[in-house]
Amino acid sequence: MRSYAGLLDCLVYTQSRNRKVALLGRYFRSTQDPDRGWALASLTDGVPIRLPLRRMLIDLVSRFIDPVLYRLSRDYVGDTAETVSLLWPNGPVDSFTPSRKGDGMRERDFLTLDTVIDEMSDGTTAERTERLGRLLDQLDASGRWALLKLLDGAPRVGVSARLARTALAECYGRDVSEIEEVWHALKPPYLDLFAWLDGHAERPDAGLKPVFRPVMLAHPIEEEDWPKLAPEDFAAEWKWDGIRVQIAAHGGDVRMFSRQGDDISGAFPEIRVAFHNCDCVLDGKLLVMQGSEIAPFNELQQRRNRKTVTAKMMSAYPSHVRLYDFLFDGREDLRERPFNERRARLEIWQTRHQPPLTDISPLVAFASFDELGTLWSSARAEGIEGLMLKRRDGAYQAGRVKGQWFK
């Protein structure tokens, strides 16, 4: 727990991205399994424990401090974990007596992240409240703060899930897309992932699971690019004012991911229902549609970061996916196929399945780049964000590949 607390403490006070990456890399390299995997989980998708943590802490702190004083302290500090860690009476540091091991109990066992996860993973709320109190008793203020951040699921130390995965990739000399390709098929504490990174096993296989695949991105086009491009080599699409998403469906399990690989399915359950009988991975743009019109982006933002959504909100801000690309058709990986072929396959697939709340982004016909510029100028007033140029013979590749996609 001490090294994890030190990591979080350093990350909070470090502004530099490169420095954060270095701190994370050093931690992953120096920490043993499964603790490094639990730490990675805490910085990405959260550890797989769901607790009424705030209610449990109110119960615990009310035993030694007036509830009104606690509430005022919490309002002043602005962070529950920090408030409790500072108010909690100091006790022995980094020692722990397991509370539910029965015979064979080891006294004053070293408090690891794995021990914390094991202690808090099951039981009634009352039982876990008592265990949490005993855990807090064994730590200093920094350790208590780190413990509560671990259990809360949102450390808020200036590290996004993408940055944590990037740091992991860089410290092992890998491309982050190699990790993102399989990330959503893995579970904490990621023993198979670290076995591969350490060179002890093959890379985990995502198989046919409905998981995120690294997205292809476009380069902003510059004036000097135009003379090097031939109009006949590119297809053009409108760039709609929405959120880039990926739909992954298999065996009735449907997920929707953001461009960064975050699972945003919970906020858009109607999209999951629309693709329930599909077996595919599709690339597109998530929009809010009011009738036949694309609603302003701020209406989409009303739903974007919610874990759950009400029927009233779904009715007020109806979601829609405008499809761009076809990555997997069942078991078949289409990403190495040229864009023209993927597009044709997508149109056939859409006609056959016709999932509700979807359509295909139309291609923009043009004979010259001057004509395309005129079309773009006339379309700006219609809520269209821009234009995309995609090389017709290009494969779907992760990241920004020079000369393939432009915006």
pLDDT of 173 strictly over 70: yes
| 156-to-86, 201, 212, 269, 298 alpha-carbon distances in Å | 18, 33, 24, 27, 24
Count other Cβ atoms within 10 Å, centred on residue 122. 10
Count other Cβ atoms within 10 Å, centred on residue 58. 17
Reported as a single tens digit per residue, the pLDDT across 58-71 is: 999 999 999 999 99
Residue tagged 């009988």 (tokens): 277
Q: What is the mean pLDDT of residues 12-22?
A: 96
- Torsional sign, CA 18, 22, 23, 24: positive
**pLDDT range class, residue 377, cuts 50, 70, 90:** confident
**pLDDT range class, residue 381, cuts 50, 70, 90:** low
Enumerate the domain spans of the chain: 2-152, 216-406
Reported as a single tens digit per residue, the pLDDT across 226-262 is: 999 999 999 999 988 899 999 999 988 999 999 988 8
pLDDT of residue 380: 62
Residues in the chain: 407
Please name the fold of domain 2-152. DNA ligase i, domain 1 (1.10.3260)
pLDDT of residue 304: 82
**pLDDT range class, residue 178, cuts 50, 70, 90:** very high
Token couple for 259: 């461009």
Reported as a single tens digit per residue, the pLDDT across 310-343 is: 999 999 999 999 999 999 999 899 999 999 999 9
Q: Which strand (E) or helix (H) includes residue 11?
A: helix 2-12
Q: Which strand (E) or helix (H) includes residue 258?
A: strand 253-258
Please name the fold of domain 216-406. D-amino Acid Aminotransferase; Chain A, domain 1 (3.30.470)
**Pairing between strand 332-333 and 293-294?**
unpaired
**pLDDT range class, residue 108, cuts 50, 70, 90:** very low
Task: Please provide the DSSP assignment of 42-77 as one string.
Answer: HHTT--S----HHHHHHHHHTTTS-HHHHHHHHHHH
Q: How far is Cα 228 from Cα 391, in angstroms, rounded to an integer?
A: 13
pLDDT of 101 strictly over 50: no
pLDDT of 105 strictly over 60: no
